[in-house]
Amino acid sequence: MCGMDGGRPARKAVMLPCVLAGLAALMLTGCASSTTTAPLTVPSARVVTHLVRPSALAVGPDGHLYVADDGLNEILRLLPGGRFAVIAGNGKAGDSGDGGPAVAASLDDPGGMTFSRSGTLYFADTGNNRIRAVSPSGIISTVAGTGRPGGWVPGGTPALKASLISPADVVIGPGGALYVADTGGNEIFKMTGAGRLTLVAGTRSGFEGVWGVGHQATNASPDGPDALAFDRSGDLFIAGLNTKTLLMITPSGVMTLPDGIDGFYPRGNGGLVTAPNGSVLAMNTGQIDRLSSHGVQVLYNLLASPPAGIKGFVPEGIAIAPDGTLYLDTWPNGFASMTALIEIQPHGTVSVIWES
């Protein structure tokens, strides 16, 4: 399996069945834009050849694929030839480094990631109960969380004084604001320009299952939100740690259950992603679904048609490029036969771009 002896890039490629390939091209292409932002500047970046437990994925505005590996406690950028440049983390679990180079900082279980238009990388430093940022110049800072888990965080709390509990995902909303899934606190926040947290969903009562459907989300329980994504209409989709279903918050703030979606089993941290055409894709156990307020459509069944022959491919991370290219990862999570990163192009070609 993947370890310190490294892995290798793979060049296997297969074609999805014609029906799925056509569906992928229809659903995953659309409002693509050019990517001209330069990669994050990382002084003295280490280059490694291995992954241990890749989880969350993101495509940066520079077009590169970024991997949060919670086994290495690092965030890495995929390089040509199957190598990785370390963007954040020194490989040791801990909580340190703010104000200095991100590569010298200690992370603990990095999770969901997102990029601002300016190229700042935001990520959930889950084990440290923080949301952290890596600037385009490679400097790391905390933008939310004290590092000490607490209880209920009221709306309006300064972000740096909020006692977050195991936050798992972040996303940039339609207006450019940062949204946070505070999984352990059972709350969702929007960060204001003044550095305060506005409550989007959750109640003081904590975990009591999903309730409050049909009412304002600020008086409802999302029961452990750990993945967020907006569609083109401004609907916020939520995959939950405990819900085993999917929730949605409308632009007017009402929490709903999208029609036709039940028995939803999210994977990984940041298991939802917005496609270039504004639709939302989700990792649902061994399949990739396209979501809408009216139901779900299966795009790929990864267990029925193992990508490039990788048995038991159950994804842990998902990301999508502006041209509609989809990226997934897996590791031996009780299902998969190996650790791998795969690429699914809009016309249906599947390639393993790295494997253990």
The per-residue pLDDT for range 99-134, each reduced to its tens digit, is 999 999 999 999 999 999 999 999 999 999 999 999
Residue of 4 and 334 predicted with greater confidence = 334
pLDDT at 40 over 90: no
Which residues of 42-88 form beta strands (DSSP E)?
47-48, 54-59, 65-69, 74-78, 84-88
* Tokens linked to 315: 């994804």
* Dihedral over Cα of 225, 229, 231, 236: its sign: positive
**pLDDT band, very low/low/confident/very high, at 207 (cuts 50, 70, 90):** low
Read off the pLDDT of each residue in 310-326 and give the average, rounded to a whole number: 90
Q: What is the mean pLDDT of residues 320-347?
A: 88
pLDDT of residue 16: 54
Which residue shows structure tokens 């385009």?
Answer: 136
Q: What is the pLDDT of residue 20?
A: 52
pLDDT value at 148 more than 90: yes
Query: What per-residue confidence (pLDDT) applies to 19?
Result: 38
Q: Residue 108's CB: how many other CB atoms inside 10 A?
A: 18
pLDDT score at 204: 79
Question: Is pLDDT at 15 greater than 80 in this prediction?
Answer: no
How many CB atoms are located within 10 Å of the residue 71 CB? 16
Q: Can you give the pLDDT at residue 295?
A: 73
CA atoms within 13 A on the CB side of 354: 27
Share of the chain above pLDDT 90, in %: 56
pTM of the model: 0.90
- For residues 234-245, give the mean pLDDT: 81
Q: What is the reported pLDDT for 228?
A: 95
Query: Are 269 and 123 within 8 A, CB to CB?
Result: no
